[in-house]
Amino acid sequence: MELKQLNEYCWEIPRSGAMRVPGRLYASAAMIRELAQDEAVRQVANVAHLPGIVGVSLAMPDIHWGYGFPIGGVAAFDWENGVVSPGGVGYDINCGVRLAAGNLTEQDIRPLLSRLADTLYREIPSGVGSTGPLKLSKKDEQAVLTLGSRWAVTQGFGEDQDILHTEDQGCLEGADPQVVSARALERGLQQLGTLGSGNHFVEIGMVAEIYAEDIAARFHLFKGQVTVMIHSGSRGLGYQICDDFLAHTARLASAQGIVLPDRQLSCAPIQSDDGRRYLAAMACAANYAWVNRQILMHRTREVLMKVLGIGPRDLGMGLIYDVCHNIAKKEEHLVGGRKMTLCVHRKGATRSFGPGHPSLCPDYQATGQPILIPGDMGTASYVLAGTEKAMSETFGSTCHGAGRVLSRTAAKKASRGRAIHRELEERGILVRWTGRGTLAEEMPDAYKDITEVVDVVHGAGLSRKVARIKPLVVIKG
């Protein structure tokens, strides 16, 4: 596709055909050479055809092919006249990341890394279809879907500070369990507190580098500090909700006269009964995901105290922040100098709200939102901070991770004859995994260079580098 360079880190797809707005990609010159022939770029242009889209159809530097929308895609729609698309959120609704840190340093845990890895793997259920020890009643599940993180804390899985340091305080408004299918509810009953499979993980790491001392201090991060990073989502419940509504909205498009360049972009007007039902079901899945990550963090804290033989005070493991990646949210943004109420889709993208934004808790008003960018399990992850430029250019959005360069099939082929766990061990990283093909599918070579991705959003001003975290122990599904 034709790509017009706007500046060092930004490239435009000019409007053509039935595109309602231009497309815009954030990438380095080296990345754009690879992306120019990528089908994901076509998906950015396809999204620009949808009714009610405003501004531009966006893609972050971790862009890769997805269902309908590219992963790494951002698009905003007029709340009154636009549409919501299940494919613009994705199957793993509110797949997200949380970061906790406390008083421990690498020296405190280095002699016990192997035992930590084994105990975490034993205590945290992982893998496809995994179920946990927490069995919900139907009444409890309804409360999880409507209350989100607050339910987890009232059940003893954390503390009030965890809620304050979670995006949207761990609860998306408008959740209605009545619009969730029986099959989705059934899948959610036994999977709370489980990691799942694929790229989901629990990771013990250490802060290897600080880039912005002032912001790092506000985030309570210091060099050498032990961290816990958790990446998981809404499990089978969220997957089923997406699947249910994709099937439903696919039948709606032709009936409503919506012309789509790709049937995977099926959608519903936000103000229609179908649009409202999807958003209410999506909110249920988002709340389930926040509870899931809250329980996973609580169990990880317990494992650390058990293995190290210490109490909560010595551990001091507090939640820095929790961010979601796959979501559609009602937000206010300036578009062409005019304040508009929008439905912002972020699929494989992270919110990047700048300093002073009213939705941020008091701890982060001066710094902007903490942003958590996990890399592959063999290199590093990053902590960033939100910026005003993101608010004006990308609807307050930035990248969400490294982004795949190899499909899972291609990664398996490339890993033949290699012992990925041994390669990681040689780098000082202990890994435990469940699925037979997990390490092959998730090997570091399957992902883009996380540092290059982060350097693009930092250079473009969409977020600011704060710290780099090196993995020490990784638990994969």
Catalytic residue among 49, 400, 421, 458: 400
Query: What pairs with residue 73 in β-bridges?
Result: 59, 347
Tokens of 268: 């519903």
Residue 248: active-site member = no
Helix/strand/coil (H/E/C) assignment for every residue in 384-439? EEECHHHHHHCCCEECCCCCECCCHHHHHHHCCCCCHHHHHHHCCCEEECCCCCHH
Q: What are phi and psi of 255, to 5 degrees?
A: -65, -30
Residue 277 · residue 284 · CB < 8 Å: no
DSSP string, 243-299: HHHHHHHHHHHHHTT---SSGGG--EETTSHHHHHHHHHHHHHHHHHHHHHHHHHHH
C-alpha span between 152 and 73 (Å, rounded) = 31
Nearest by Cα to 374 from 310, 426, 437, 444: 444
Tokens of 365: 């008003």
285-318 core/surface letters (b: 16 or more CB in 10 A; e: else): bbbbbbbbbbbbbbbbbebbeebbeeeeeebebe
Cβ partners under 8 Å of residue 75, min gap 6? 47, 48, 50, 53, 57, 58, 69, 88, 344, 345
CA angle 432, 188, 297 (to 5 degrees): 45
**Which residues are identified as catalytic?**
400
